[in-house]
Chains A and B, each alone.
Chain A
Amino acid sequence: MSRVKAYLSAFRMRWKMELQYRGAVIGGVLCQMFFGLILVALYRALYAGKPQARPIEDVVTYVWLQQAFFRMLLSSDGDLMDKIRTGSIAYDLCRPLSLYGYYYARIMAQKLLGSLLRAAPMLLFAALLPRGWGMALPSSFPALLVAALAVGLGLLCVCAIENITMAFTMRTLDSRGMQAMLNLLMMTLSGNILPLTLFPDAWQRVITLLPYAQLLDAPIRLYTGEWALWQAPRVLLTQGAWTIILLALGLMLWRKNQKRLVLQGG
């Protein structure tokens, strides 16, 4: 139990640090609001010319939720990257902790608080917009609950993905190339750039099974009711399976890394 306390403490610490950057939050919210509006206008124009199978209200809600939880996807801990690059990771290696768990807690704090701080004002703003521009209510109350649970699982997934990136950083020492590539993949396959609901049906069958679709796409579909409640167990199971696979993969990579470790900078 006391072990858990250490990880919780690391989580709290990173949470505190995140609270220090209030300016970044305000900037992020404004930026995401702007992107949200542009994207909504874009899809409205598309629908005006050629209506799609999904109703426009669903697509608009999809866009706002993606923008509100943007920080859950696209954020990485610069401190951690620096630690690996300069060798300060040495200190973390002489703690009686699992390094994987320690970093997982940090990453989770950053992603959770980062997205909550931004999501609250964003969703309020989106809810106040007129119908067809703003966010719609969930299809039902149970759907909201299931969607919230799914976001939780998505968060576990995305932190595991981030930790795998981190493990690779320990080999390549510079995360930028790797991150640029992975981020593009993530933003496309998670539905942030173009809602996955607008992809051709045949593609969707494959894409929705990939890990990136588990992060936000699955929760949003549960929220809008595109996926009905009876489908929820299947969705949650898929998410759970990916969480376990990604966690196991990350743990394995970290364990391997620790064996062949070289510290940078003397």
Chain B
Amino acid sequence: MSYITVTDLQKTFTVRKKREKGHLTREKTLVQALKGVSFSVERGELVGYIGPNGAGKSTTVKILSGILTPDGGQAEVGGRIPWQQRKEHVRHIGVVFGQRSQLWWDVPIADSYALLKDIYQVPPQQHQKRLNELTEALDLGSLLRTPLRLLSLGQRMRAELCGSLLHSPELLFLDEPTIGLDAVSKLALRDFLQFENRQHGTTILLTTHDMEDIAALCSRVMVLGHGSKLFDGSLADLLSRYDTQRIISLRYDGDCALPPLPAGCESIREGDGYRITYAPQTVPTAQMLSLLQSAGPIRELTAQPQNIDHLIADMYREMDL
């Protein structure tokens, strides 16, 4: 029996739209946020959950954390049905909603943590130990007495994460935790999540639009689109289907025009060099290189795979999302 089992989960929202003008009634449309999604997750897994905006990711997270009641289907987390045993269930989970805050705006974050301690009924000693561990790992020690409103976005996100993990949840939902963070904060956050996952065996479900988060953290990815699950497997498998293009950036000595390229290749001028996109299956790399060399002496050349975001964009396009 898996830790999380979701079978044929469905949820529909009613969206009332205002007509352009001159009508007293609003237009009602039903939006199917989830059209029968099924998956299972084992204890200790770190799973990425991706898909374009409005795919139903957050809805899944909200159902699994007991906030929303689905319209159909089943879900169990550690043997509990989240929306039916809400209070018992939420004791064991932690949630980070990247765009919202759980800490109190005007009071020092340590006070918010003390409140969380009482809410989750964590024994004082255990709380202190966990707090020490988290403040060290997240580098929050010097900020504990600072009110939340005075923290930077990166500091705030670390503080939020600490708040969500204080009661040592066995399952952590992360809804876009790296949104708006700078590179250093992102890297630190990723390291921390990996540490938490290894050290405590915390099961983590990560929703994000940042593909590098996924690449760095998740051994498994699920892709959601239009309320249905489209892919479930390793990131490498997912990418190999779309990873068909290579990019060459080069500069010639002096001013050289590019030779005419075979069909299916693209080139753009980039500063005083060029940037060429081609598919090695149709035009072998050796052929491409000799073609480029024939135009003149090459001073500089780099070859690289396509950016992961492009791959995902291609994938979404192909899946018609």
Contact = CB atoms under 8 A, between A and B. Distances in A.
Given A2-B121, A20-B107, A88-B101, A263 B62 contact: yes
Contacts of B91: 96
B219 interface: no
A17 B106 contact: yes
A6 B97 contact: no
Given A17-B106, A97-B87, A261-B67, A91 B97 contact: yes
Interface residues of B, number: 33
A13 interface: yes
A188 to B, nearest CB: 33
Nearest to B15: A262
A95 B88 CA distance: 9
B115 A10 contact: yes
Interface in B238-268: none
A99 to B, nearest CB: 10
Contact of B119 (A88, A97, A261): A97
Contacts of A23: none
B107 A16 contact: yes
A17 to B, nearest CB: 5
Contacts of A91: 95, 97, 100-102
Interface in A211-266: 259, 261-263, 265-266
B114 A9 contact: yes
Contact of B97 (A20, A90, A262): A90
A263 B63 CA distance: 12
Contact of A93 (B53, B66, B120): B66
Interface string A1-33: 011011011100100110010000000000000
Interface residues of A, number: 28
Nearest to B82: A94
Interface in B85-116: 86-88, 90-91, 93, 95, 97, 99-102, 104-107, 111-112, 114-115
A96 B90 contact: yes
A201 interface: no
A17 B91 CA distance: 26
B272 interface: no
B56 to A, nearest CB: 11
A41 B208 CA distance: 64
B100 A96 contact: no
B88 A96 contact: yes
B95 A94 contact: yes
B195 interface: no
Contact of A95 (B58, B106, B119): B119
Interface of B: 13, 53, 58, 62, 65-69, 86-88, 90-91, 93, 95, 97, 99-102, 104-107, 111-112, 114-115, 118-121
Interface of A: 2-3, 5-6, 8-10, 13, 16-17, 20, 79, 86-88, 90-91, 93-97, 259, 261-263, 265-266
9 nearest CB pairs, A to B = A9-B118, A91-B102, A88-B100, A96-B91, A93-B67, A94-B90, A96-B87, A6-B119, A6-B118
26 contacts: A5-B118, A5-B121, A6-B119, A9-B115, A9-B118, A9-B119, A13-B107, A16-B111, A88-B102, A90-B62, A90-B67, A90-B95, A91-B95, A91-B100, A91-B101, A93-B67, A95-B119, A95-B120, A96-B87, A96-B120, A97-B119, A259-B69, A261-B67, A262-B13, A263-B62, A263-B68
